[in-house]
Structure 1
Amino acid sequence: MTQAGTRAALAPDDALDPDAPAPRKRTSLSSSAIYERIKNMAATYEFKPGERINEIELSKRLEVSRTPLREVLNQLMVEGFLERTANKGFTSRPLDAKQVFDLYEYRLGLETAIARLACKRATDAEINDLEAITLRDTSIPDDSDSAELLALDEDFHMRLARLGRNEEFVRALANVNARIQYVRWIDMRNGRRPYTQAEHISIIEALKARDEAALVTLLESHIARRQDQITEVIKLGYSEIYTRSKL
């Protein structure tokens, strides 16, 4: 038998069939990359509020197998980014004013506790570093991309959290920030940024003075949102979601 004949005999049948479907491309995504990808889709409402997550279509879209995908979906459900019902399976979380209000209230409790720790534990050098970074960020124009402005705002609060030297608070704040990210992005698109920057500077001044009472009061003013304010932002959010889906 010739070499060509030997190769043909050893090759699988579909390798000889020009009409056979191409083998499915294997994904190079790690479990953590799958997690980050789907978490971002959920956080930005790429899945519309209340939409059922079609696991088969999603696995094809991301080119991942169902097993790691299901593990990620379960993790995101536990973390509050998705919901699950007996009849519908996994669904996108609602964009609900009461739920968002509760998250803002939770965030406020976290950040005021963090501030008290930061007053006691942050070094002068660390506070000066935070001030320098915040002042640098004020040079970025207010009409910059909203996602960039929101990232700067989140970075300030996470840096402040790390000054408290409690990793549980840091993790909890990162989770709640991600769950209200879309609402905060809408807020930033509608002119919130100038107030945010000025308030950050005032917060740092209170921290430098180790004035815990003033720091807590400033954070309460900076973070707290009335439910009617949140309702208005959510209306804008729904408009953006369904306008985006038509493009």
Structure 2
Amino acid sequence: MPHKIISLISVGRHPQSGRARRSDQDGRAVELGLKLSGSQLEVVHAGDSEEPVLRQYAGMGLAEITILEQDQSMDAVASLSTYLASRDADIVLTGVRSESGESSGMVPYILAEALGWPLVARVADIVEIKDGTAEVLLALPRGQRRAATVKLPFIATIDSAAQEARQSAYGPGLRANMVAQSGANELDELRANWSEAPAKPRPKRLKMVKAKTAADRFKAATAKPAGGSGKVMKNESTEEKAQAIFDLLIEEKVIR
């Protein structure tokens, strides 16, 4: 009997343009799901069934996508946990975090707690599923991998080190069937009181000289500035010195 695998998808956001797109990590989760179960893969989204980005996922070779219809102000976790509990799935695949909305990465953890399943974080690949267990490869820093064995069922968050999602085909994406169901109407009270604004660029840090010995610190303090634009202030007033420091901080964008 084939194992039942479900991939959860969300609406992504391009990091430069801000346009809606297929989320990179969610696309990798769908790619891994297709590798494991082929056409039997079930893909689920909680949100608007008319969202055009969902067609980009469908263009990966999906016959249909299940949409738990709900407003953006509603809590997606409530809909997803209720749906997953009724599907008797073996593995649920998600991205590490979404690219829009709260982007906290907490959804897989809350789902795992609600279902009573273990969660395996930052999976690079699922090598084999056999005898009620799955052999997975975890993504570690600097390209390293760690093998682990996990009992079914479980939730896996797919890392950016996993296989890249295949190119989406426009025609098959349009022909895919969007199966809409009613989602849970549970208001996300925390998010309702939030306000969103564009992120501000971080202040530029001043270059600090790291010296291990007193001799190195003295050498760095007395060395001539490499750019030649430095200024030594000895006889100026306190106000003039303070103004010079203030102008430097503004120039280096430490303060605005």
**Which TM-score tier does this pair reach, normalised by the shorter chain?**
under 0.3
Larger fraction in strand:
2
Give me the TM-score of the superposition, normalised by structure 1: 0.21
Q: What is the TM-score with the length of structure 2 in the denominator?
A: 0.21
Larger Rg: 2
